[in-house]
Structure 1
């Protein structure tokens, strides 16, 4: 498999919001909320801890981490 070329720009808040919606809709996380300070609060399970992501670039990075974990655990 050929590696992807690096991004030419940082992910926008709109892109991060779209990925957040996918994560919640696919039930890969319980909740993702954007704060006015452009941070993102992520809760994996309803009773789990809340993680703070520093900015929009961290949401696609979280998505990639979850996707990698799912694919690496398949037989």
Structure 2
């Protein structure tokens, strides 16, 4: 697997918001809400605990983790 090149800038709130929206729409997260403090409140399941992410970089890291998990768990289709 080829590693992506390192980022040249920090993730933005808009980028994090776009990823959070995709994760919720695809039902990979129950909720993701940007707080006025710049932190993100995320919940995996409706009855699950709410986690606090410190900022956009944490949202992108969570997105990458979820994406990796979903890609490695599904059977290979060729």
Question: Aligned Cα RMSD in Å?
Answer: 0.9
Residue in 2 that maps onto 1:39: 39
Q: How many residues align?
A: 75
1:8 match:
8
CA distance in 1, matches of 2:25, 2:52: 20
What TM-score does the superposition give when structure 1 sets the normalisation length?
A: 0.94
Partner of 1:48: 48
Q: Which portions of structure 1, spanning 4 or more consecutive aligned residues, are displaced by more than 6 angstroms? A: none
Unaligned runs of 5+ in 1: none
**1:66 counterpart = 2:66:** yes
Following the alignment from structure 1 to structure 2, what is the Cα–Cα distance between the partners of residues 73 and 12? 29
| Structure 2: runs of 5+ lacking an equivalent | none
